[in-house]
Copies of this chain bind each other. A is one copy, B any other.
Amino acid sequence: MNYEFILKDLKPSENETKGVYEISDKLIKTIDNICKNEDINAKAHLVGSVSKKTWLSGKSDIDIFIRFPLDTSITTLKEKGLYIGHKVNDLMNGEAWEHYASHPYLTCDIEGYEVDFVPCYKIKTGDQIKSAVDRTVLHTEYIQSNLKEEQIGEVLLLKKFMDCIGVYGSEFKTGGFAGYLCELLILKYNTFENTLKEVSKWRYNVKIDLENYGTSKNFKKDPLVFIDPTDKNRNVGAALRLERMVDFILASRNFLKIIKDTKLSEEEKEKKVREYFTPLKKELLNKENIINDFLDRGTKTLILQFDIPEISADSLHPQLKKTIESLSEKIETEEFSVFKSDYWTNEEDTAIFIIELNVYTQSKYKIHKGPKIWPEKACDNFKGKWGEKCYPLDDFLVLTKEREFRTVEEYLRYILTEEHISIIKVGKNIRKTICDSYQLNNIEDILLNLEVNNKYDFLNKLDDFLRPGQYLKR
């Protein structure tokens, strides 16, 4: 299929392109001047999608890496790196925010562009890496050298498609495909459409090794193995979550069914294809509809809201994920039943666990299983602990014991205390805030009175919770 009718909206205009490169040049020159004048041994380097010409129109975030020689101490690198960033930002009258991922960097708003200044080491091969971001320059150079002019449009189509089906972005929140991985897929499969065709046949642990390093056999468990052409011992797909890979495969199949559908006229086909490159429309997204949908399910849904500390999103998300998963597991251990659970955060000040329960209340007693009856000593010990009310069930000694918790709410209020929080696996940075600040409500009550920043995004999350897989087809 000819995708020109889609591409024309994805390609940056001449004006946009000109503007981006002008400001990028200016920033690089400014940095290099600062280094020269102040005798700092570093050099600016444009990386990322702008440097590779693979950014989607309107998404021209500028990534400038400030490269230091390998013998620079990490302290100097951090200090000088941030210093240079702030200085160029000031010179350009920008606004700056410091970030600390594994590595400190500066995000600035300069003349309306979002610009990242990232200090790093200047390495020549992947195995020289000292800091996680060092290899970005190698990635950029590899794509610049290998991606053909006519493949750029294919990258844009793939990125936009992925974005609209919810699998684009390698940050932990999404766990999807990084821009670099998109570009590599086009290097491997040549076109957008052919990529989807190949992807629709992917199996678990599919292996791609562009440079034939022969190292892919070392990655036995990753859902997708794409050996980094700049580092034979690295899997570019390592951060891709199985769910996102599966989403991509299913959406590819759905999309290809339209392409192959001989009953559709060209016009109908174009209309449907265009929908796949348009964010999903959510017309029913409002509080009342969501409440009604939850009520219809006949479940009980608890909303556990709590404060979060100031930590990076990529550190916060895995902690929230781990905690809600462990909590759900423990709820099931108490013989309640979780129908579905998930978390949401505005990444600023609050997080929410959504816990939908199939079994929320239970009867008064449970069977507490003791030892096999055969060894008398073990039985005596058990009786010593639990008293004379033990009785046999099959060949076990058991006890009908009053449950400590007859509702999930009682159980949560027990767990979420400093004394008992260790029962679950809880993210280390939220351990204290969750106990200190949590509020527990029914979804119906909370939705009518919810006050959080980015509330629309929370409603969106609830909508996704209710309608799994909705992004995968149009």
Shortest C-beta distance, A288 to chain B (Å), equals: 19
- The answer to whether B469 and A391 touch across the interface, beta carbons within 8 angstroms, is yes
How many angstroms from the CA of A374 to the CA of B395 in the assembled complex?
Answer: 44
Q: Does A19 contact B (CB under 8 A)?
A: no
Q: Does A365 contact B (CB under 8 A)?
A: yes
Q: Count identical subunits in the complex.
A: 2
Shortest C-beta distance, A115 to chain B (Å), equals: 37
Task: List CB contacts (< 8 Å) of A265-290 with chain B.
Answer: none
Task: List CB contacts (< 8 Å) of A367-412 with chain B.
Answer: 373-374, 376, 379, 388, 390-395, 400, 406
Q: Given A253-B376, A363-B339, A376-B200, decide whether A392 and B296 contact each other with a Cβ distance below 8 A.
A: no
* A: contact size bracket: 35 or more
- The answer to whether B204 and A395 touch across the interface, beta carbons within 8 angstroms, is yes
How many angstroms from the CA of A374 to the CA of B246 in the assembled complex?
Answer: 8
Q: Does A249 contact B (CB under 8 A)?
A: yes
A299: chain B residues at CB < 8 Å are 363-364
Shortest C-beta distance, A222 to chain B (Å), equals: 13
A298: chain B residues at CB < 8 Å are 362-365, 406
Shortest C-beta distance, A366 to chain B (Å), equals: 8
- The answer to whether A376 and B339 touch across the interface, beta carbons within 8 angstroms, is no
A96: chain B residues at CB < 8 Å are none
A472: chain B residues at CB < 8 Å are 391-392
Q: Does A201 contact B (CB under 8 A)?
A: yes
Q: Given A242-B394, A339-B363, A363-B339, decide whether A250 and B373 contact each other with a Cβ distance below 8 A.
A: yes
Q: Does A455 contact B (CB under 8 A)?
A: no
Q: Does A297 contact B (CB under 8 A)?
A: yes
Q: 22 A-B contacts, Cβ less than 8 Å apart? A: A200-B376, A204-B374, A242-B394, A246-B373, A246-B395, A249-B374, A250-B373, A253-B379, A297-B363, A297-B365, A298-B363, A298-B406, A358-B362, A358-B363, A359-B359, A359-B362, A390-B469, A391-B470, A391-B472, A392-B468, A392-B472, A393-B468
